[in-house]
Structure 1
Amino acid sequence: MLNLELSGKRVLVTGGTKGIGRAVVGLFLAQGANVMTSARQSDLEMPGGFLVAADLSTREGCEALAAAAKTRLGGVDIIVHVLGGSSAPGGGFAALDDEQWQRELDLNLFPAVRLDRALLPDMLARGQGVIIHVTSIQSRLPLPEATTAYAAAKAALSTYSKSLSKEVSPKGVRVVRVSPGWVETEASVALAERLAQQAGTDYEGGKQIIMGTLGGIPLGRPSTPTEVADLIGFLASPRAASITGGEFVIDGGTVPTA
């Protein structure tokens, strides 16, 4: 395993109990970091790390996690904002009422804003730290039928991240974005299986349906959570010490322009 010089680093990962987040937690633990994440359920286990029960779609949940990071980790050196997703129904813009829009913002934008606001001052006081915001290629390639609000929230996260990087990078804190395309997480596997069943095909056929919806993936497959985690680990490490303010796409070539 490549040594990313992360041993002893204090790392907060949101959305760290499944999918990309779980892979990110595993990478940092394997590198010897001290890792904290959160989940809405309090009965989950996280061997080797700290798990805090908190609903990050609320202000109170973010405050609880930030307080736990300060007391149990003594602050953080690295924050990786993986939390995100969409519960919006299909049906285009007309299906999105104010409550749906608010839910997408509460899950995909405000947790990062609130946790950064709580934890960034200590990083600035030390003159060092790394913040990684996981955005999405859907901020550039939204799917109008079902992901308009999610895509808009991720676009807002990307713009916020860029602005934050310009403000705090001169003070020693790097801020970068990782923009995945379709990643073969538990949720995407379930979606492919459901589409396959509806179309009377197998799982590989379901994957082809999803890739067709995205306009094709030149690589011919989705990314894996481990591949995204490896990119995040590198960007968080001292090996990427001069990288800040950028957005790093990992999508198998889905976005058709540079």
Structure 2
Amino acid sequence: METLSKGQVALITGGTKGIGKAIADKLSNAGMQVVVTARTAPKENTTGQYFISADLAYPDSAERVAKEILEKYGRIDIIINNAGANLSPAGGFSALSDEHWNNNWQLNFMSAVRVNKALLPTMIEQKSGVIINISTGAAKQPIWEMTMSYSSAKAALNVYSKALANELGAKGIRVNVVSPGVVETPLMLEFIENMAKSSGITSDEAFKAVMDKVGVPMGRMAEPEEVANLVAFLVSSEAKYITGTNYSVDGGASPTT
């Protein structure tokens, strides 16, 4: 995409698998200097991507990642807060302990808050920057049996993102949210397999149960690249007047526009 600026420094958290990897590859192929974080290094070292090992559920990780990026590159242009996972056990409110709630809050909400806080002073000094917080359709359509604490953490991320966009708009920094629906990632496939085993059904039956519950008119999962395409547009110069908005990539699952 010609409107993606070559040489810009982009951070993608959770950038070694699934949606994060698709975004990292998309931006890297466009000529950006891409930094990815994850708890473990990728099996294959992607050319042009700089890896930082970090578990962003822990408070000190964001400061360490920010310091390493700024020491290496001296700037930050794009932050994609993609690190996250549904850590909720099935069963609704009675199955959720304080630890479950806290784990989801730390990984799916506070990780983004801390990363942004650590890197925003540099963006403000530059008078430019783009932040994309990756949320989920389940923040608007929570599935009580499966996503209660996860959905709550991501709903908080949505509200925080809107407030941050309002604060930073006059400073030359844009903030948007991308909310995928059911995406064919390793985590989603693992979730379906575990659901099949625990319920004594086949993987195909578990997949159908998830799709029926979510209600996807297109009848299939999204490919990670389909989410990455939207993110690439939102960080490009073509989207320079777009901020404070939440975009769904869910195959029509949202009941309203």
TM (norm. structure 2) is 0.94
Residue 189 of structure 1 and its aligned partner are, at CA, apart by: 2.2
Give the unaligned 5+ runs of structure 1. none
Report what 2:120 is aligned to. 120
Cα distance per residue 1:77-124 (max 9 Å; x no partner) = 000011111222112111111111110011001111111111111111
Cα distance per residue 1:122-152 (max 9 Å; x no partner) = 1111111100001111111101112110000
| AA matched with 2:256 | T
Report what 1:12 is aligned to. 11
TM (norm. structure 1) is 0.93
How far apart in 1 are the matches of 2:27 and 2:130? 14
Report what 1:59 is aligned to. 59
How far apart in 2 are the matches of 1:103 and 1:193? 22
State how many pairs are aligned: 255
How far apart in 2 are the matches of 1:27 and 1:21? 10
Where in structure 2 are the equivalents of 1:30-41 lying within 5 Å? Answer: 30-41=29-40
Report what 1:177 is aligned to. 177
Residue 195 of structure 1 and its aligned partner are, at CA, apart by: 4.7
Report what 2:156 is aligned to. 156
Give the unaligned 5+ runs of structure 2. none
Cα distance change on mapping 1:42 and 1:86 into 2, 3 Å: same
Q: What SS class does the counterpart of residue 109 from structure 1 fall into?
A: helix
| AA matched with 2:242 | I
Deviates more, 1:53-62 or 1:150-159: 53-62
CA-based RMSD of the aligned residues comes to: 1.6
Report what 1:234 is aligned to. 233
Cα distance per residue 1:132-181 (max 9 Å; x no partner) = 00111111110111211000000000000000000001110000110111
In 1, are the aligned partners of 2:4 and 2:235 still within 8 Å (CA)? no
How far apart in 1 are the matches of 2:77 and 2:55? 22
Residue 5 of structure 1 and its aligned partner are, at CA, apart by: 2.4
Cα distance change on mapping 1:146 and 1:194 into 2, 3 Å: closer
In 2, are the aligned partners of 1:182 and 1:251 still within 8 Å (CA)? yes
| AA matched with 1:154 | K
